[in-house]
Structure 1
């Protein structure tokens, strides 16, 4: 890699990165020691609350940033040697109008008022813990960074609410074991309080959050007064037991019992060990499977809680894709290659079983973050049977160890640098994958300018052939505040860079350059509450031979009006088309597409209304090839009552004359012109009994069929198509129908009972049935996979157990 390739972005950064000082005054609140019992009942009747000095004078965050809120708020803070108590009096002169829609734990967009706390004991400007309670006592918690919130983090804390003639009250207790804080005599934490008055769509904060500045952590106030406390021993065990009834197509009902545990141990005040022993992921919601026509793998969301909770330190872009762990074995699709005369495959596990997984992560009082992640999967074997009934096994994936190490250092006001390494080891005789990288994010003190990037080197260590190494880098500079904002950057991966043993990257051998300009209206103006306009462009070419791939220009506008109707539109141009080096799936070929454009429009009404419909329309056109696409998406949302909520997502997509790969033979590559029709319907229903229990249903039907009308030869010289004599039957259809029905009851903090029924049907066809309802009927009549499971998980906290024995 030449040094010149990095010089322009670095010079640009140095010119555009002013050292602007952050002048906003931080409010200060004081916590008061209490020695009397405080009962979490939502009433704030103990004498200790009367001795505390309230935090007051909230200011609006939206819609009128910096203006006085419509209602007053008082927040009181107490502490003892067990934890911190927070009481909020959320006054409201119309208490009958307080909105109280119920929802599941961690629902983040209920039609209900809420009170929230964000706390950052290390005052690093980068990390926070969030504790939020709705007026109906539904809890939400998360670990937050400047890049977003990790809603999968769950803590064991207590809350209670009450609605009175004065408004509503919230009472919260957060044990010290749920937080990480420095070991010192007097604590000083960054803290802020949030209040939402949903009927006004009004959000306010105690310490003012200027929406002209990106990021709220650095705009927190300060909490003082907590003295002579020590970080407790953070030790908890969450054992579980689960039972399953399963019925696979063509087999009898099977039953099995699982048991295991999740362990959390606070190594010290900064670092925590998380371990899952003999994990059970059988109740994880079904993937939204699709029919893949691309040359790349489909990337599905991670839904297993252990791999989503507390992983923010490991989130390094394309290098940490936890769906690799416990996924389809590498040799799953090649078992039939091992068959002899008269043999057949009688068992071929589709997932490598996870033995255990461990995380150690945390950050010191000096801002040093360290993380270690390790997971192991057992050897996976397929079973082959001959005509005499004798069996043998074939290893489809050996025992595999996945490992990642991260070191991260906070520097300056709210910046950071880090290094990381991933390693996948499958035994001495197998390829070992190793990746090492560094990343950084520099911001000025006011968080208005930033420069971020990374540099990575991948290594494939092969026992029988030459090792391979590849390089990747990414750089970006941006202006993050003000009416006008921008970002500009570049990325590169050479043709040997490959993170895919533990990460995910569709293609390497790429250089890209992009720039975006934004105009924001942050405060109400006329009929508009806020708006965002964008002009952006991206240019990409191959890294090794500099051959052009694509160039696009995007225009986007989105606005929310004073009636809380949101609307937007975007148009994307490919002025000179694009060259696709991957769709031909044959070395030396590329596929050229001419000028094209895509337009989309969306509309989203005010969610305070009981019934609304979100609408999105998309149109794509490649005029010279008569290739066009229409897509309509509708999302009706019906709030039947505060306990019942129904949503439906309906998408219909029609694409005509799309060109795609169908086959190759020797030096010839064949493409086909196809019409693609896709329907996707998803129905979600929630019935919430109370703040701790509820029923959730998700049913999804996905149908796609493709009909080919002509075939072409792909020309190796210029990527164009010419008529072909190739014939083949490539018409297809694919149906996926899944149901996930679950009941969850949180009978104690972080303890739950869950009952789950899962139904799944997948079917392939040759496209002979194009009627939606005929496909649905045939799918429902096909044999399904059914699973009924019950799981009980109980949270045991060492501090609580010790205090019970002392009593």
Structure 2
């Protein structure tokens, strides 16, 4: 019934709102040249005189459809191996041009993006960027402009020069870095995007009105590419790494003697199997130059935190493998490969243990690309090694397996059709382990799915969906462990549709999502949809899945103010509705929300949100106990940001979630400061403070006689972090970057209570508060002892849950691209992790746990050389 209602509403909206407009395509016709072109940014080579200028740019922002402040022109030539682009960006005040030096992909200052849809599939594009300072950048665009991937780093050449008319730039792009099919004359999608940084203005060669949903699909066309020969890519990049580590010496521990030195090496290769498809190979990869993950503390029992992928091999072309089933949940999550060992070694008193931080990747290969016929293909094969913890007992050593040899396999395909307005695809993953002595992990895990998308009426309307299935198998112990994990909780006492079966050796589940709506045309936008994850659904061997046994329904409607006025440049307002059930039919959640944002005439931004959850019931809160009802909740947030193009800019944010009965109150404060005192130097500081007061924070489960007790307490939890970044660019190919983040979290508990009626709307009926006569704290064992009936006998006890955690992570990276594609890295990493007395102040803990500690240091030198065909 609910699905039919959603479809009816969707159909009504489709009939009510009008269609977008379609514009005539611009065409630029290039020519082949046999003359040499020197890439120095000056456009003074004779070859440029053989083709005409393209131009007549039109403003995109802030006022779409009008002439830009200054015009832009371009020329395009090609030879047997390269595509050449010349850019003339006029500016009446050359001294005001923002020529900011940044590291590659910095995207700061005046710049021009060249957007090339060489597949001409109207969904994907290669973007090459040059700034007025000569800094290069590149992105791979997918989903018709909805996803821009900065991780793509092809080998190409560019330079730029400022003169009395503005600035000029030149590009030399190898055909081996592009993908195109076979044809006598190639026709490619083409657009140019110019940004005048100080005016916050964007202009395009091919106009794209704001009410049109597509971006790549609306590009103009490049003609005149005759008899292009396939340039198969061949790049081999060996590397050598020297690493020296220092840390505080631990007396008696042979694994912590104060220093460690190692030499490592490996190889990366990129092989063009065809002009469309590329094979990437890495052997013994090293990711030592990758920035550290931010600090965090988890209180909800879900110890699996989502972190973004930063390793270059897995980041490139990651969009091809994407298969989301809702939120961050994804059939493939590359951070599972090379993960921290999932088991630990048992040791005896007096023994020392050395456990690997991550699993070693022996080798990985990735075959990916998109064909002229509209096939997107991705195949990933990876093997991680056995990882052993080494245990020392007075000089005698033994090894214990903590992570087995594992093979990960992923294959992903999609096929475009219907003039590229539709696609149909699928994914399959396989994880297989050589478990040996480990019986708590899955022996094998398989998942697969099908997905589709269809667009119509000038791509303004769409419907999209996917269906996925998982199957995991292993020992009885492994499958029982999965059934009882917080993601599944088959042991929940009030879940009649679930039960733990200790004899099972496999689980099979399903998940998926379907949604659709209007994303272009006029000022109205909307979408409706649903997603689900069945109780047995399990992806975490190679994917990411937070929680199962959920059916979500969602929808929103949005209005856009797209034409600037004297007050604002653009604005939007949205209304959102969400609801959630479990597979037993329990109505667990309903939520109403409204949000809006305004980009003011001075380019400041404000945004805000307010929501109300009258019903919020959690299946996982009591970790296997009955469903728990949260108090009615109101939440809101707002943020304001200054003009980001200024040398100094800032943003401030505040959010608050609170129960209407004062049972909880969570506040977040954010401050971000950015300053660029020099064209070559930028610094930023981000501060976050979180204050969490909750009278019913889960503590533990105990038994009073035969009666289970779910112990809660009032937590006073504060988290504080500072993230500092500094970037100094000596030239576009030589830069120094620093990242540092201290993070501290402290939690103090009081007013302990236990659950009496978990679904009561009233907190006083939901829990019973223990008075001081029922609680005794044992300082020696650091436990609370509870005597509920005051008969002088302890009924049960639980450990003191107070905590204080601190972490510091930093990276100083010097990167020199001494020739295109070949790099030299010097990395200095520092860090420490610790805990202390929670009774100390938060800043006192920061000083004691970080500033006064001896930091661990890692010095790393990495040298790569890229052989190009």
TM-score interval for Structure 1 and Structure 2 normalised by the shorter chain: over 0.9
Look up the match of 2:186.
Answer: 187
1:730 aligns with 2:737: no
Q: Is the 8 A contact 2:61 2:201 kept in 1?
A: yes
C-alpha offsets along residues 32-83 of structure 1, whole Å, 9 cap, x if unaligned?
1110111001111112211101211111111111111111211100000011
Q: CA deviation at 1:289?
A: 1.8
Does 316-325 or 612-621 show the bigger shift? Answer: 612-621
1:132 aligns with 2:149: no
Secondary structure (helix, strand or coil) at the match of 2:661 reads helix
Look up the match of 2:542.
Answer: 502
Look up the match of 1:443.
Answer: 455
Look up the match of 2:67.
Answer: 68
Structure 1: 4+ residue segments shifted above 6 A: 18-22
Secondary structure (helix, strand or coil) at the match of 2:857 reads strand
Does 163-172 or 345-354 show the bigger shift? Answer: 345-354
1:593 aligns with 2:634: no
After superposition, residues 211-230 of structure 1 pair within 5 angstroms as 211-230=210-229
Secondary structure (helix, strand or coil) at the match of 2:48 reads helix
Counting matched residue pairs gives: 784
1:708 aligns with 2:711: no
C-alpha offsets along residues 579-635 of structure 1, whole Å, 9 cap, x if unaligned?
12212112x422211111111111111123222221111222213134223322111
Look up the match of 1:254.
Answer: 260
User: CA 1:20–1:524 in structure 2 vs 1: closer, same or farther (change >3 Å)?
Assistant: closer
Does 463-472 or 737-746 show the bigger shift? Answer: 463-472
Aligned-partner Cα distance in 2 for 1:351–1:564: 44
Secondary structure (helix, strand or coil) at the match of 2:226 reads coil
Q: CA deviation at 1:20?
A: 6.3
Secondary structure (helix, strand or coil) at the match of 2:66 reads coil
Look up the match of 1:304.
Answer: 311
Q: Is the 8 A contact 1:9 1:475 kept in 2?
A: no
Q: CA deviation at 1:428?
A: 7.4
Secondary structure (helix, strand or coil) at the match of 2:831 reads strand
Q: Is the 8 A contact 1:345 1:382 kept in 2?
A: no
Aligned-partner Cα distance in 2 for 1:204–1:695: 32
C-alpha offsets along residues 236-280 of structure 1, whole Å, 9 cap, x if unaligned?
111111111112443231111111111001111211001111100
1:750 aligns with 2:821: yes
Aligned-partner Cα distance in 1 for 2:34–2:527: 53
C-alpha offsets along residues 445-486 of structure 1, whole Å, 9 cap, x if unaligned?
512011011100100123554321101120101100121110
User: CA 1:418–1:11 in structure 2 vs 1: closer, same or farther (change >3 Å)?
Assistant: farther
Look up the match of 1:695.
Answer: 736
C-alpha offsets along residues 407-456 of structure 1, whole Å, 9 cap, x if unaligned?
11011132211011011000377521000101111111512011011100
Q: CA deviation at 1:12?
A: 6.0
Look up the match of 1:786.
Answer: 857
Look up the match of 2:509.
Answer: 470
After superposition, residues 394-433 of structure 1 pair within 5 angstroms as 394-413=400-419, 414-427=421-434, 431-433=443-445
Does 426-435 or 32-41 show the bigger shift? Answer: 426-435
1:511 aligns with 2:551: yes
Q: Is the 8 A contact 2:634 2:660 kept in 1?
A: no
For structure 2, the 5+ residue unaligned runs are 250-256, 325-329, 437-441, 477-503, 761-765, 776-783, 785-798
Aligned-partner Cα distance in 2 for 1:40–1:152: 24
Which of 374, 379, 392 is 2:386 aligned to?
379
Q: Is the 8 A contact 1:730 1:766 kept in 2?
A: no
Look up the match of 2:644.
Answer: 607
Look up the match of 1:803.
Answer: none
Question: TM-score, length-normalised on structure 2?
Answer: 0.88
Secondary structure (helix, strand or coil) at the match of 2:186 reads coil
Q: Is the 8 A contact 2:691 2:716 kept in 1?
A: yes
User: CA 1:466–1:631 in structure 2 vs 1: closer, same or farther (change >3 Å)?
Assistant: closer
Q: Is the 8 A contact 1:212 1:483 kept in 2?
A: yes
Look up the match of 1:804.
Answer: none
Which of 654, 662, 681 is 1:625 aligned to?
662
Aligned-partner Cα distance in 2 for 1:99–1:21: 35
Which of 348, 354, 366 is 1:347 aligned to?
354
Q: Is the 8 A contact 2:682 2:726 kept in 1?
A: yes
Aligned-partner Cα distance in 2 for 1:386–1:629: 48
Secondary structure (helix, strand or coil) at the match of 1:505 reads coil
Aligned-partner Cα distance in 2 for 1:207–1:562: 25
User: CA 1:386–1:685 in structure 2 vs 1: closer, same or farther (change >3 Å)?
Assistant: closer
Look up the match of 1:368.
Answer: 375
Look up the match of 1:279.
Answer: 285
1:316 aligns with 2:323: yes
Look up the match of 2:579.
Answer: 539
Aligned-partner Cα distance in 1 for 2:633–2:66: 46
1:202 aligns with 2:201: yes
Secondary structure (helix, strand or coil) at the match of 1:207 reads coil
Q: Is the 8 A contact 2:663 2:696 kept in 1?
A: no
Q: Is the 8 A contact 1:738 1:758 kept in 2?
A: yes
Aligned-partner Cα distance in 2 for 1:14–1:456: 26
1:453 aligns with 2:465: yes
Look up the match of 2:490.
Answer: none
Q: Is the 8 A contact 1:590 1:716 kept in 2?
A: no
Secondary structure (helix, strand or coil) at the match of 1:575 reads strand
Please give the root-mean-square deviation of Cα atoms over the aligned residues, in Å.
Answer: 1.9
Q: Is the 8 A contact 2:565 2:601 kept in 1?
A: no
Aligned-partner Cα distance in 1 for 2:9–2:417: 22
Q: Is the 8 A contact 2:234 2:270 kept in 1?
A: yes
Aligned-partner Cα distance in 2 for 1:716–1:431: 40
Which of 634, 638, 645 is 2:671 aligned to?
634
Q: CA deviation at 1:15?
A: 6.5
Q: Is the 8 A contact 1:552 1:573 kept in 2?
A: yes
Aligned-partner Cα distance in 1 for 2:217–2:574: 26
Aligned-partner Cα distance in 2 for 1:310–1:187: 24
1:331 aligns with 2:330: no
Aligned-partner Cα distance in 2 for 1:164–1:99: 13
Look up the match of 1:764.
Answer: 835
1:493 aligns with 2:499: no
Aligned-partner Cα distance in 2 for 1:709–1:253: 43
Aligned-partner Cα distance in 2 for 1:416–1:174: 30
Aligned-partner Cα distance in 1 for 2:475–2:294: 38
User: CA 1:182–1:515 in structure 2 vs 1: closer, same or farther (change >3 Å)?
Assistant: same
Q: CA deviation at 1:11?
A: 6.3
